[in-house]
Structure 1
Amino acid sequence: MTESLVPRGIGATVADDATYEGLIEATRGFLDALAGAVPDDASAADLAAELRGWASVLAERAGAEQERLFARRAGVASHGQSMTPAYRVTGEGDTELRGTTRFGGYFLGGNGAAHGGAIPLLFDELFGRLINGEGRPPARTAYLHVDFRAVVRLDRDLGFRVRRDRREGRKQYVRGEIRDGDSVCAEAEALFVELRPGQP
């Protein structure tokens, strides 16, 4: 379905979910390839020039914050963003999200394992998606704690589950885990606080 939202200065409707997801997947693939590449001077310079050109094309289509597609497309894998490891929600309810995730080469920490900092990043994204679902008041992360149980290996399909544990007024407590088969790789807990009207 094509969105009717048109960023400033654009004379046509914005990319539909499938097209935009293709752009995000291509971006993610580029980042994985960049992380694993050992380019020579000429290829690095050529690629940098081409990337600056594409950045200029995108800058001409910039929209206000509320118009942007990045990290705001609920119907797209990874919520339409390439910042975190790739993930896809396969089960969703008011208090829980379940799905699969995969850490690509861009997130290498060493010896075939994911960088430790990428794991809390993914949890924060998943918790935020659960808490800040459509029609809900926005909330921000106040606390996030991760316990690392086993190595998260790159280029493997992993499972995740996050759930709201309880709510106390404006405070929402959430828990989650990432699994590689039967092995728990990481567990997390967090506190999100609902924003007051007008609060940034």
Structure 2
Amino acid sequence: MEVNLNTYLFGQGKLDVNFMFDLTAKDGAFSYNGVLHNFNARVLNQITKPLGLVRINRGNVDKLKFNFKANDLGAKGTVAFSYYDLSVALMKNDPEKDHLVTRGFLSFLANALIIKSENPGADGKLVPVAVNYSRPANTSFFNMIWKSLFTGIKYSIGITEEKQNKVREHIAKFKAMRANHLQRKQRRLERRIKREREQNEKR
């Protein structure tokens, strides 16, 4: 069975999608491919914030092309994401405030060390990223579609496990430097208190 859909993503980017379903497959095999045309990248916040705790501050998308083969267990395919002038903020859940808050320092590191602000880059080459998404149990059909695309978007802009590990290393070094600084500050304070106590005893 073939299904062709033409719509607009949140009223902005034109989305053309083709689905092919194998109705005889016991594993629910199907495929989907399509193109999401020019739009302001911030419209993706309605997807990226709840799915990945990422807020897009600014950016413009030229085109998002995707091609996947999938079944009940997951989806495998490619995503080609063309965009420019991208900046993001990483978010976290704050139980006290009951909403998402920005991870300021981590966002700074992400934009400085991870995020590719444009694709294609200076060499003009747009290389599709490969996605192999495993579907968690009890999740919906459309959840798998969105998660597979979101994974491709993350990889395209540079948010890979390797890059995130590098940021974690930088954060660990920063925390160690800060802890060392606080220890030195505490020792200086203790020496000063000791000197003042000795001076008072001499008086």
| TM-based fold match above 0.5 | no
Bigger helix fraction: 2
Bucket of the pairwise TM-score, normalised by the shorter protein: under 0.3
Could you state the TM-score of these two structures normalised by the residue count of structure 2? 0.26
Bigger strand fraction: 2
- Max Rg structure: 2
**Relative contact order higher in (CA < 8 Å, ≥ 6 apart):** 1
Could you state the TM-score of these two structures normalised by the residue count of structure 1? 0.26
